[in-house]
Amino acid sequence: MRKTFTLALAVALAALLGACSNGGPEASPTSTNSDLAGIVEPADSAGTFPLSKERATLKVLAVQVPYVQDYETNDFTKYFEELTNVHVDWSFAPPQEAQEKLNLALTSGDLPDVIVGFGVSTSQQMVYGQQGIFLKLNDLIDTYGVETKRLFEKYPEVRQAITAPDGSIYSLSGIDRNPHTLAPQKMWIYEPWLKKLNLEMPTTTDEFENVLKAFKTMDPNGNSKNDEIPMSGGVQDMMTNVDSFLMNSFVLNKLTSNKLLLDENGKIDASFIADGYKEGLAYLHRLYAEGLIDSEAFTQNNSQLVAQVENGEPTVGVVSSQALAQFTDASKDRWKDFVAVPPLKGPSGLQQTPYHYYNNAGGNFLITSSAKDPELAFRWGDALFNDEISRRANIGSEGVGWKKPEEGAVGLNGGPATWVRLIGFGTLQNNSWMQSVPYHFSKEMFEGLAADEISVPRKLYEATVNYYEPYKSSKEQEVPPIFFNEAQAAELTMLQKTIMDYVKESMTRFIFGNLSLDKDWDTYISTLDGMNLKRYLEIYNEAYTAQYKK
């Protein structure tokens, strides 16, 4: 999860690769920053600094991170401008208006040099790339991609995932290899209630149901009131949906790929029509009918969920969530008492967690046709993959954003610590860009973080490596990022919304009992057939074959 920082390397790609112009401020940097010693070399060669002998300016459109106080006066802005001799002319989209502002820029023709942080879809990359609005990056990577090629060598699956079927690369990717983000569909249980009732951590779906019943009936918070909520959740973040974790005991429930998976024949199929999905719905319906799942879990947002969990004495026993911050207040203490529930073994023996082999692939750095100097822009972005520069871009400068650990400090993986974070993600600051642009979070960097035994990063890391990685789904089941051509994208857009809205609505109705799995399942399947689910899957398989099975 982005919250866990790490190599801001990829920040590089996305953020700044903008096309520059030779206009802009006339004055060159006047001060000499000692931080640049050993980095600056003669200009005009790949991997050297400054990037331009004359002052240059890039127009960059970005999604604004609310934790950066002022991009113009930001410490990293000043540092990187002095290093590269390139000034950034920023324009921003608020997160909630990002897609709208992106669409407006693309259709109006009022383009920046560079677009970063939007996660531009593969369909838009194909459409606007073939129109020449997004530039192909292949030659720039081959000629100037010193750091980019290093990352491609380390992560060959990323290069494959961002390459269109015709071989074109239109965007660069954030790369996140923090173990916690690769297994995001977790579940958390309030441990003091287990101890109060002398209950063991559940290992099967039946044991889990019995634990929820005990939470409901045995007054684990000890206030002599029937106010316990055995399990809750929310709808703002899909990881807090009630099916996010539990459905995986019956069928692979990959939320980030629209519940699609690769079957045993290497074909893309939908989990939401499988027999296991029906069995999982029956289980969730039973929990709901017994009063073990709160009805608010199907309507409330993250703020309401946090308020429910934090309100007064403890009343919530279980929540599905990627991170503790989605349902608790990290500035208080209750999060410390929630512990991870390992994947539960289902009736058929299935015990698994969805694993993300392709994480943050593509769509986060694009150079447009308005760029006057794409080479300079690309070299600027490539520089951000440099380990030293990228750490400073996303985590901050040494002594402000991070510091070296004391001798003997231990990292998350039990080895020697290599750094200590000083500014937590989500803190308003003016020292770094805090992941405003594509980033590289390496496993090695993350594991070198020095963290107290009682800390959110340690809890997330240990839960992942101890409880979830041993049960990770196979790469052969993973649906990778896929490029769709314009015709496929247009057809898919119409089909996908209709189908996925119906699947979501039907899931809720089956869980509530408004629809009967005995009487209405066949109608559910036939309705999906009528919505042309077959064609929907055909489009996915056609595009997947074109990109990955050449």
CATH number assigned to the domain comprising residue 261: 3.40.190.10
Averaged pLDDT, 274-294: 98
The count of structural domains within the chain is 3
Query: Nearest Cα to 401, choosing from 449, 460, 452, 344?
Result: 449
pLDDT at 321 over 90: yes
Find tokens 């990627």 and name the residue: 322
Residue 361 has what pLDDT?
A: 66
Kindly state whether residue 45 falls inside one of the protein's structural domains.
no
> What is the identity of the amino acid at 389?
I
Kindly state whether residue 35 falls inside one of the protein's structural domains.
no
Report the relative pairing of strands 114-116 and 56-63 from DSSP bridges: parallel
Q: Please, are residues 437 and 457 in contact by the beta-carbon 8 Å criterion?
A: no
35: confidence class by pLDDT, cuts 50, 70, 90? low
Residue 8 has what pLDDT?
A: 31
- Of 64-78, 248-262, 381-395, minimum mean pLDDT range: 381-395
545: confidence class by pLDDT, cuts 50, 70, 90? very high
Residue 13 half-sphere exposure toward CB, CA atoms < 13 A: 36
Last residue in a domain, options 422, 444, 466? 444
Same domain, 321 and 368: no
Averaged pLDDT, 190-207: 98
Other Cβ atoms within 10 Å of 173 Cβ, number: 30
Report the relative pairing of strands 338-340 and 365-367 from DSSP bridges: unpaired
Averaged pLDDT, 194-212: 98
pLDDT at 374 over 80: yes
Last residue in a domain, options 340, 374, 392? 340
The whole-angstrom separation of Cα 109 and Cα 135 is 14
CA angle 512, 516, 519 (to 5 degrees): 170
Q: Where are the alpha helices (DSSP H) in 464-532?
A: 486-512, 517-530
CA distances from 12 to 365, 397, 439, 487, 505 (A): 9, 16, 6, 33, 40
The whole-angstrom separation of Cα 497 and Cα 512 is 23
pLDDT at 43 over 60: no
2: confidence class by pLDDT, cuts 50, 70, 90? very low
44: confidence class by pLDDT, cuts 50, 70, 90? low
Residue 37 has what pLDDT?
A: 43
The whole-angstrom separation of Cα 479 and Cα 267 is 9
Kindly state whether residue 10 falls inside one of the protein's structural domains.
yes
The whole-angstrom separation of Cα 165 and Cα 10 is 24
Same domain, 120 and 249: no
Last residue in a domain, options 377, 410, 444? 444
Same domain, 279 and 323: yes
Longest dimension (CA), the chain: 77
Residue 256 has what pLDDT?
A: 84
- Of 169-173, 291-295, 519-523, minimum mean pLDDT range: 169-173
Residue 4 has what pLDDT?
A: 32
Kindly state whether residue 79 falls inside one of the protein's structural domains.
yes
Q: Please, are residues 40 and 83 in contact by the beta-carbon 8 Å criterion?
A: yes
For the ranges 4-18, 73-87, 448-462, 479-493, the maximum mean pLDDT occurs at 73-87
Residue 427 has what pLDDT?
A: 87
Residue 233 has what pLDDT?
A: 98
Averaged pLDDT, 175-197: 95
Same domain, 70 and 126: yes
Other Cβ atoms within 10 Å of 361 Cβ, number: 25
Residue 20 has what pLDDT?
A: 32
Averaged pLDDT, 253-271: 94
424: confidence class by pLDDT, cuts 50, 70, 90? confident
The whole-angstrom separation of Cα 459 and Cα 320 is 15
Same domain, 271 and 289: yes
Q: Please, are residues 190 and 317 in contact by the beta-carbon 8 Å criterion?
A: yes
Query: Nearest Cα to 341, choosing from 326, 325, 319, 323?
Result: 319
The whole-angstrom separation of Cα 132 and Cα 126 is 10
Kindly state whether residue 69 falls inside one of the protein's structural domains.
yes
Same domain, 190 and 329: yes
Angle between helices 205-217 and 275-289 (to 10 degrees): 10
Phi, psi of 472 (to 5 degrees): -70, 145
Same domain, 15 and 162: yes
Residue 452 has what pLDDT?
A: 84
Residue 17 has what pLDDT?
A: 30
Task: Summarize pLDDT for 14-27 with one digit per residue, the tens.
Answer: 332 332 333 333 33
Averaged pLDDT, 358-379: 90
Average of per-residue pLDDT values in the chain: 89
Share of the chain above pLDDT 70, in %: 91
Same domain, 130 and 214: no
Burial class (CB in 10 A: 0-12, 13-18, 19+), 39: middle
Same domain, 173 and 190: no
Residue 539 has what pLDDT?
A: 97
Same domain, 175 and 241: no
Residue 38 has what pLDDT?
A: 45
Q: Buried (b) or exposed (e) across 440-478, using 16+ Cβ within 10 A?
A: bbbeebbbbbbbeeebbbbbbbbbbbebbeebbbeeebb
Q: Which domain holds residue 330?
A: 184-340
Same domain, 115 and 191: no
Query: Nearest Cα to 64, choosing from 104, 90, 92?
Result: 92
Q: Please, are residues 395 and 2 in contact by the beta-carbon 8 Å criterion?
A: no
Kindly state whether residue 471 falls inside one of the protein's structural domains.
no
327: confidence class by pLDDT, cuts 50, 70, 90? very high
Residue 15 has what pLDDT?
A: 32
Residue 358 has what pLDDT?
A: 87
pLDDT at 41 over 60: no
Kindly state whether residue 293 falls inside one of the protein's structural domains.
yes
Share of the chain above pLDDT 90, in %: 77
Token couple for 492:
């898919």
Other Cβ atoms within 10 Å of 153 Cβ, number: 9
Kindly state whether residue 397 falls inside one of the protein's structural domains.
yes
- Of 109-123, 207-221, 241-255, 270-284, minimum mean pLDDT range: 109-123
Same domain, 170 and 189: no
